Chains A and B, each alone.
Chain A
Amino acid sequence: MIEIKNLKKYYKLGGEIVKAVDDISFNIEDGEMLSIIGPSGSGKTTLMHILGGLDTPGDGDVIVDGENLRSFSGKKLAEYRNKKVGFVFQTFNLQPHLTALENVELPLIISGVNQKKRKEMASIALEKVGLKDRMNHKPNELSGGQRQRVSIARALVNSPKIILADEPTGNLDSKTGDMILDLLKSLNKQEGVTIIIVTHDEYVARSCDKIIQIQDGKIKKNGDSELIKE
């Protein structure tokens, strides 16, 4: 379970204080598929970065499985990013000079898994996203949807507890976007991995079980996706 208690994150931007996250509290149950929705600048990406251990909480606590991220050292935070969470980005963020397989191997290379084992793990992850036959292609030889599937495989490969997806369909056409959403859904159902999608797209948000709507750093609505209607 992830508990977010009175989380605050303020930035100073050009002399003005920006309240990116302003006193947010909510819980995320294990195995949930949740979307965080809000307009750009609402603080949803900052929230995601904090949940993913890329950014530090300004104030308040983020407790993952009883451990408070606030107390983590840089080293422990890196390990948390490596083992507990997987990121999926809007722009895929694959390393252009590495093949699909090598991109998926990256988290395993960092955690020091030996070559034989990590090739095996990475090809299993690519198989899960249906890209086993393209694993030796470089990102520029793959379509947008395929690239996003590689990045999902990369997020998956260390069997994380949480996958954090920031606008995962933002750079894709609607048909491919649906395929990616279906893939995330099936991973949620089959692997039981908690999936948090950050989006400004209501359509994407509605495909999740729960929605948290954020505006100006505060939670506007929090509930089951069917209950939130405009």
Chain B
Amino acid sequence: MRFTDTLKLALTSLKRSKVRTFLTSFAVFIGVFVIIFLVSLSYGAQNILISQITEQFDLKSIFVLKRGYLDLNLFGTTVQEDTKEAPRIIDKQAVKDIRRIDGVETVQPIAQIFQRKFEFKDKEFDERVVSSATGGGLDLMENDNLVTEVFAGRYTNLKDDEIVITEDLASAYEKPFEEYLGQIVILTDQGLAFGSEARPTAPKEYTIVGVVSNLRNFLYLTNLNSALEDIAKRNAYSSADEYIETAGYQSLYVKASEEQMVRKISDEIKDLGFDATTLEDVLVIFNTFFNIVPIIFTIIGAIAIFVASIGIINTMIMSVFERTKEIGVMKAVGARNINILTLFITEAGLIGFIGGLLAVIVSLLLMTGINSLLVNNILPTLGVEGIDQIFITPASLVIFTVLASTLVGIFAGLYPAFRASRLDPVNALRYE
């Protein structure tokens, strides 16, 4: 028997009981749909996050932290782990040591101030208040690659009373970037800074001198000295210097002269007793996470497909019962056991294939629709740009799922097909 003829006969049989075929395939459909939809979503999310990360940081960057602090600054939080020994603090000597490492171009301390109230002094300019704005103190330089775009004004050589705001904060007030320049803002401590002895400092006035692209989780930046003084004050130190020598800088930004040096520098910083995080490290963490997520989704879908396979087994056993006489006739006109086996396995495989194919078609249509709706209509109104797709479906995923669902069908068909092929023709012909 030719395989094309087997395929045709199998299709004719399936067409005979359309509803049953559809319902059985539908269970497969759900499993495959779940896999394609969720895995595509996770690939899309991975792509968006990774591209946003790589957009903001360049591969020459290394972030240095006191050992034991897990830097999750991308999420805007710093978590302290339990450590037995007191870790080395990032004092001025540490900065000197790191600066001496071969291949280090710049070392810049970063201060981070949480949750200050941000408002414009001129209420006619804008009376709205950002109640909890996290900012940073950082002496930015032209060549440090931290600022990727300048929308207005400048960001280097800030005086103690000068401030730069980021795109995110500026866009909250919806004004042309140029208009912010020269505005005076008031930052007020909310008293919620970390450390139990934190005490609110007096409101401080700054003049906006620049609007720049987003930088880590900071909404605004002052110079390092100004931020350190505030932090020292709110934590009850007499001066910024005392704070640095006792508590140390929160983190350092280290820039390597070349990308190839990053790994070596990061290792040497670790040898000095600090934690060093490179973009590569961050990407590794993200990629590990995003490698696991599709597997979890695939397992969920696989469970659904497994349940579907039980449905296929059931349908095929029913079908063998109903068609016992037909099987007898086929044997009477010369069909071998293997022909019957192949026919029923093909039918079961087709049920899986149809379910998988339908899921691919429906999910691709749906995802294309959602992609274009979000990218063209919804995201722009929310002010989100630079995202061209939410779902990413690799061709391998489509091929894999269709193949897998067909294979599941084939496996589910093995037992019923085996039973069909072993039917005794005499009994089968007598079967009513």
Q: How far is the CA of A95 from the CA of B331 in the complex (A)?
A: 13
Contact B337 A74 (CB under 8 A): yes
Contact B329 A75 (CB under 8 A): no
Q: Which of A49-57, A140-148, A203-211 is found at the contact surface with chain B?
A: A49-57
Contact B337 A110 (CB under 8 A): no
| B382 interface contact, C-beta 8 A | no
Q: How far is the CA of A176 from the CA of B13 in the complex (A)?
A: 31
Q: How far is the CA of A154 from the CA of B337 in the complex (A)?
A: 20
Q: How far is the CA of A40 from the CA of B337 in the complex (A)?
A: 30
Q: Which of B1-9, B111-119, B255-263 is found at the contact surface with chain A?
A: B1-9
CB-contact partner of A75 in B13, B16, B336, under 8 A: B336
Contact B429 A154 (CB under 8 A): no
Q: How far is the CA of A44 from the CA of B275 in the complex (A)?
A: 93
| B200 interface contact, C-beta 8 A | no
| A175 interface contact, C-beta 8 A | no
Contact A74 B1 (CB under 8 A): no
CB distance from B8 to the nearest CB of A (A): 9
| A111 interface contact, C-beta 8 A | yes
Near B by CB (< 8 A), chain A positions 160-178 give none
Q: How far is the CA of A65 from the CA of B138 in the complex (A)?
A: 102
Known contacts A74-B337, A93-B325; is-contact A52 B332 (Cβ 8 Å)? yes
Known contacts A54-B426, A55-B426; is-contact A109 B332 (Cβ 8 Å)? no
Contact B425 A110 (CB under 8 A): no
Q: How far is the CA of A109 from the CA of B333 in the complex (A)?
A: 10
Known contacts A89-B429, A95-B326, A109-B9; is-contact A74 B333 (Cβ 8 Å)? no
Q: How far is the CA of A97 from the CA of B323 in the complex (A)?
A: 11
Contact A81 B16 (CB under 8 A): no
Contact A54 B331 (CB under 8 A): yes
| B78 interface contact, C-beta 8 A | no
Contact B334 A111 (CB under 8 A): yes
CB distance from B11 to the nearest CB of A (A): 11
Contact A87 B333 (CB under 8 A): yes
* Contact partners of B329 in chain A: CB under 8 A: 89, 93-95, 106
Nearest A residue to B325 via CB reads A93
CB distance from A45 to the nearest CB of B (A): 9
Contact flags B408-432 to A (C-beta < 8 A → 1, else 0): 0000000000000000011001000
The residue in B15, B326, B334 that gathers the most chain A C-beta atoms within 10 A of its C-beta is B334
| A83 interface contact, C-beta 8 A | yes
Nearest B residue to A50 via CB reads B426
* Contact partners of A114 in chain B: CB under 8 A: 2
Contact B429 A93 (CB under 8 A): yes
Contact B334 A81 (CB under 8 A): yes
CB distance from A102 to the nearest CB of B (A): 8
Contact A110 B333 (CB under 8 A): yes
* Contact partners of B1 in chain A: CB under 8 A: 109-112
* Contact partners of A158 in chain B: CB under 8 A: 334
Nearest A residue to B332 via CB reads A87
| A82 interface contact, C-beta 8 A | yes
Contact flags B310-336 to A (C-beta < 8 A → 1, else 0): 000000000000000110111111111
| A217 interface contact, C-beta 8 A | no
| B12 interface contact, C-beta 8 A | yes
Contact B330 A81 (CB under 8 A): no
Contact A83 B12 (CB under 8 A): no
Contact B333 A81 (CB under 8 A): yes
* Contact partners of A109 in chain B: CB under 8 A: 1-2, 5, 9
By the criterion of a CB under 8 Å from any partner CB, how many residues of chain A are at the interface?
Answer: 28
Q: How far is the CA of A228 from the CA of B331 in the complex (A)?
A: 35
Near A by CB (< 8 A), chain B positions 327-355 give 328-337, 339
* Contact partners of B334 in chain A: CB under 8 A: 78-79, 81-83, 107, 110-111, 158
CB-contact partner of B331 in A75, A78, A111, A112, under 8 A: A78
CB distance from B329 to the nearest CB of A (A): 5
| A4 interface contact, C-beta 8 A | no
Contact A97 B426 (CB under 8 A): no
* Contact partners of B326 in chain A: CB under 8 A: 95
Q: How far is the CA of A11 from the CA of B98 in the complex (A)?
A: 95
CB distance from B237 to the nearest CB of A (A): 89
Known contacts A75-B336, A109-B5; is-contact A81 B426 (Cβ 8 Å)? no
CB-contact partner of B335 in A52, A87, A94, A110, under 8 A: A110
Contact B429 A78 (CB under 8 A): no
CB-contact partner of A81 in B5, B13, B332, under 8 A: B332
Q: How far is the CA of A110 from the CA of B334 in the complex (A)?
A: 7
CB-contact partner of B425 in A54, A83, A107, A111, under 8 A: A54
| A98 interface contact, C-beta 8 A | yes
Contact B333 A97 (CB under 8 A): no
* Contact partners of B426 in chain A: CB under 8 A: 49, 54-55
Near A by CB (< 8 A), chain B positions 149-170 give none
Q: How far is the CA of A111 from the CA of B336 in the complex (A)?
A: 10
Nearest B residue to A49 via CB reads B426
CB distance from A74 to the nearest CB of B (A): 6
Q: How far is the CA of A55 from the CA of B328 in the complex (A)?
A: 12
CB distance from B421 to the nearest CB of A (A): 10
Near B by CB (< 8 A), chain A positions 99-115 give 106-107, 109-112, 114
A interface list, Cβ under 8 A from B: 49, 52, 54-55, 74-75, 78-79, 81-83, 86-87, 89, 93-95, 97-98, 106-107, 109-112, 114, 154, 158
What are 23 A-B contacts defined by CB distance under 8 Å? A54-B429, A55-B425, A74-B336, A78-B335, A81-B331, A81-B332, A82-B334, A82-B335, A86-B333, A87-B332, A93-B325, A93-B329, A93-B429, A94-B329, A97-B13, A97-B15, A106-B329, A106-B333, A109-B9, A110-B330, A110-B333, A112-B1, A158-B334
- When A and B form their complex, which 9 residue pairs have the shortest distance between CB atoms, in order from nearest? A82-B334, A107-B333, A78-B336, A93-B329, A81-B334, A54-B425, A87-B332, A109-B5, A97-B16
- Beyond the given pairs A75-B336, A82-B333, 12 more chain A to chain B contacts, judged by CB atoms under 8 angstroms and listed by A's residue number, are A52-B332, A54-B331, A89-B429, A93-B325, A93-B329, A94-B329, A106-B330, A107-B333, A107-B334, A110-B1, A154-B333, A158-B334
